[in-house]
Every structure is written in C-alpha cells, then in structure tokens.
C-alpha cells in the first residue's frame, strides 16, 4: 500500500526489508513455519552429530559433502593456514590491552589481506582457497587475542588438530578431551549457515561491489557484533545464573515479564516454531552431560524453556515465541569451556563458513546490490543568508 504525505504519494517501504526477496541461493533454506533448516539439500538434523565442521564447510563452499581424500586435503589446508602473518601478530599484541571480543575480532579480520598477493582476485577457485584460509585464521585471531588480553603468550596448534580441537588448544594450551571437541563441533555445524540474515546480506553487499573477501568478511563481522543479531548468548548465560535453581524459574520469568524485560533466548524474526538449531544443541549438550555427569545447567535450561514458552503463551497469545539458537548456544559453549566474552566471536568462527559460501555464490553471478529509497523529507525550501536564519 502506498503512503501519503500532503500531496505526494509514496510507494510502500518494507522496513527492515521484511518480506523482500533479495537473492536466489542454493546454499540454505530457512523454513520458519516448519522450523526446518536445510543446507545444500540436507536437513541440518541429518548432519548434526555425524559430520565435522570441516565437512560442513566443504559442503557450503562446494555444494557437496567431501569424500575421504577431499576432507583430508581440506583439513591439511586449514592446518597450514592457521599461522597468522607476522605483522598481524605484532598488531594483535599492541591491540590486546585496548580491544576485546568482537572489537578485537573486527580489527584482526581487517588485517587478513596482509600477505595475500591475490586478495583482489575474485575467481571461484581462488575464492574457495581464500575461504579456507580465512576460516582457519579467524579461529586463530579469536584465540590469540583472548590470550594476549590476559597477558599470556600465544599458543600455536598442532598440525593434527581439527579446527575445533585446535581452537580449544590455542585457547588453553592443553589437549582438549573428545567430549569438548565434539560439543564445539556440534555448535559450529549448527551455526555455520542460516540464509540471508543481516551479516550474510551485509557480506554479499560488500562483495557485490567487486571488493575483496577480507573486506566482505570484516563487514559481516561488524554486522554480527550488534546484539540484535549475534550478541545474545552471553546474556543468556547471565540469565541462567541469575535464575540459579529449578525452584526459582517460574518466579524469575514472571517478574521479568511483569517488568517489561525481554527473556533472552526466545523469539526469532523467521521461526514461528522452535528453532531447529536449539534442538541440535540441546541434543549435543545432553551427550556432553552424559559423559561428564553434570546435568544441572542442562536441566535448568530445559526448565527455563518449558516455563517461558508456557508463560509467553499465556501472556502473549498468538505471538509464536519459542526457544531460539541462543538459549542452547549459551549452554553448550559454557559446557565446552568457552569464556562468555567469546560467545559471539566463536559464533563468528562458525558463521565464517556460511558467509564465505555466500560471497562465492555472489561472485559466481554478480550484480551490484543497490535498492531504492523513497524521500519523505521537506520540499521547496528557500535558501536564506546566514544572518536571516532562525
């Protein structure tokens, strides 16, 4: 419907581009009404717990799951690429006392063109190789920046480490047990790709100008930093700790709702049912709890979900507010041992696979992304000398 302002008739404006189809993609389908996420034709529930993060990255970049030789080659490529250029390490040492979390990651990512003589080459094969390099180096930036910020020395991973295992090793300097590697793998697979969300769209807009992949990745990271997009898992963990016990769950949720505050980890722009990624991460957390014997936080999270959905249905009927990925992301990342200040940067590690896949797809059939806007300000104003202006 058009909008009218005095004698001017304006076209309808889709605020937030809601309802606008801006791209045709073969990478992912997000079905909000059925709570279904499909990656290159695979229901994500078909992949979770069965494949490593490297396999899902290969799938997103190449359109198929790797065979054994292809997976081994990608693992070796990522292993070789983890070492950051010397100037980047030097800069991280200088920045560490002044920047943490997503600020540090954004600055670090912007430097990853250093040493890449062909960074402005946009052919598909070089872009796939660059995607693998950036995937490896983003994980290194997150781990190294965190350690340097604590006044600790950088630890390089071993060649045999997977991306998940190598990240935990870089973070702590000790060999992580398999349960933690499996938990982090499950998380990275679950968040690797999610359609044309804000950060993915921002990355595609940048690469559509024929800019380089490093610039587009930095754009995506800057977009993810906003709490309306990627900054929720940390506050979810704070909420769970504030609730503290099963007995306090209902009272806490009702008090928060009565005060008009948002219950973290619930509601989604697309999903009108439970986020399928919440199911995947809940299952992964259950497997970890079975190995560690510690089910207390898992049971509290389940209680928070059940209670919140029931109370939201009672107080806000018809709003379709259910658990989203952040509720169980906080649980699994805490169980894995990731510090809460790194929750969003670790999200970025996983989503780098999806971001770069969309950049490759945009490069393959590129058209500059340039939507229209409608002017709704004043018209026919007359200039006055500065002395006559109010």
User: DSSP string covering 99-113, please?
Assistant: --HHHHHHHHHHTTT
Averaged pLDDT for residues 364-378: 94
Longest dimension (CA), the chain: 78
Q: How many domains does the chain have?
A: 2
Which of 161-170, 278-287, 330-339 shows the lowest per-residue confidence on average (mean pLDDT)?
278-287
pLDDT in tens, 135-187: 999 999 999 999 999 999 999 999 999 999 999 999 999 999 999 999 999 99
pLDDT at 1: 46
* Structure token digits, residue 300: 């509290």
Question: Would you place residue 7 in the very low, low, confident or very high pLDDT band (cuts 50, 70, 90)?
Answer: low
Same domain, 237 and 98: no
Task: Decide: helix, strand or coil at residue 202.
Answer: helix
pLDDT at 231: 62
Stated pTM of the model: 0.91
**188 domain residue, yes or no:** yes
| Residue 267 scores a pLDDT above 90 | no
Higher local confidence (pLDDT), 216 or 267? 216
Name the residue among 146, 142, 169 with its Cα closest to residue 158: 169
pLDDT at 6: 54
Same domain, 157 and 271: no
pLDDT at 316: 85
**% of residues, the chain, pLDDT over 70:** 97
pLDDT at 8: 66
Q: DSSP for 289-344, please give it.
A: HHHH---HHHHHHHHHHHHHHHHHHHHSTTS---B-HHHHHHHHHHHHT--GGGHH
Task: Decide: helix, strand or coil at residue 266.
Answer: strand
Q: DSSP for 354-373, please give it.
A: HHHHHHHHHHHT--------
Task: Single out the residue in 318, 334, 350 at which a domain terminates.
Answer: 334
pLDDT at 264: 84
Same domain, 252 and 137: no
Averaged pLDDT for residues 80-87: 96
Same domain, 98 and 116: yes
pLDDT at 233: 63
Same domain, 346 and 207: yes
Positions marked catalytic: 268, 326
Same domain, 270 and 323: yes
Averaged pLDDT for residues 349-364: 98
Same domain, 267 and 169: no
Average pLDDT, the chain: 92
What's the rounded Cα separation, in Å, for the pair 308 and 271?
16
What CATH number is associated with residue 100?
Answer: 1.10.580.10
DSSP state of 38: E
Name the residue among 298, 307, 289 with its Cα closest to residue 330: 298
| Residue 110 scores a pLDDT above 70 | yes
**23 domain residue, yes or no:** no
Token pair 């059925």 in the structure block, residue:
34
For residue 31, list its beta bridge partners: 36
pLDDT at 232: 59
**196 domain residue, yes or no:** yes
Q: In this structure, what is the dihedral angle of CA atoms 56, 109, 207, 38, given to the nearest 10 degrees?
A: 20
Its domain, for residue 247, covers: 233-334
Radius of gyration of the chain, Cα coordinates, nearest whole angstrom: 23
Same domain, 225 and 280: no
Token pair 């982090």 in the structure block, residue:
184
Same domain, 261 and 160: no
Same domain, 191 and 282: no
Higher local confidence (pLDDT), 28 or 327? 28
What CATH number is associated with residue 237?
Answer: 1.10.230.10
b/e sequence 78-115, b meaning 16+ C-beta within 10 Å: bbebbebeeebbebbeebbeebbbbebbbbbbbbbbee
């Amino acid at each position: 419907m058009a909008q009218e302002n005095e004698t001017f008739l304006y076209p309808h404006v889709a605020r937030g581009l809601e309802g606008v189809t801006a791209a045709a993609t073969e990478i992912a389908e997000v079905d909000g009404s059925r709570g279904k996420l499909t990656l290159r034709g695979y229901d994500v529930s078909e992949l979770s717990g069965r494949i490593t993060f490297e396999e899902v990255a290969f799938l997103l970049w190449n359109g198929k799951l790797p065979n054994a030789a292809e997976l081994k080659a990608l693992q070796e490529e990522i292993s070789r690429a983890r070492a950051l250029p010397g100037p980047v390490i030097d800069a991280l040492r200088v920045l560490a006392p002044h920047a943490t979390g997503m600020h540090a990651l954004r600055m670090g990512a912007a430097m990853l063109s250093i040493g890449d003589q062909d960074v402005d080459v946009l052919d598909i094969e070089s872009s796939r190789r660059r995607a693998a390099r950036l995937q490896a180096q983003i994980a290194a930036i997150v781990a190294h920046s965190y350690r340097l910020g604590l006044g600790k020395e950088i630890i390089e991973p071993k060649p045999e480490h997977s991306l998940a295992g190598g990240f935990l090793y870089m973070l702590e300097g000790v060999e992580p047990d398999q349960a933690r590697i499996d938990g982090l793998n499950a998380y990275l697979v679950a968040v690797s790709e999610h359609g044309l969300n804000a950060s993915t769209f921002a990355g595609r807009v940048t690469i559509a100008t024929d800019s380089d992949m490093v610039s587009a990745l930095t754009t995506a990271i800057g977009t993810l930093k906003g709490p309306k997009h990627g900054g929720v898992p940390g506050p979810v963990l704070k909420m769970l700790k504030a609730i503290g016990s099963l007995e306090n769950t209902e009272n806490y949720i009702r008090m928060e709702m009565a005060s008009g505050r948002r219950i973290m980890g619930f509601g989604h722009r697309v999903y009108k049912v439970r986020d399928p990624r919440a199911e995947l991460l809940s299952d992964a957390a259950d497997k970890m709890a079975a190995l560690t014997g510690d089910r207390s936080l898992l049971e509290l999270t389940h209680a928070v979900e059940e209670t919140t959905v029931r109370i939201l249905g009672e107080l806000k009927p018809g709003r379709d507010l259910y658990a989203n990925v952040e509720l169980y992301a906080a649980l699994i990342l805490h169980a894995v041992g990731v510090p809460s200040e790194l929750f969003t940067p670790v999200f970025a590690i996983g989503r780098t696979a999806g971001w770069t896949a969309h950049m490759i797809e945009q490069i393959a059939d590129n058209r500059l992304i340039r939507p229209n806007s409608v002017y709704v300000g004043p018209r026919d104003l007359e200039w006055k000398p500065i002395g006559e202006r109010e």
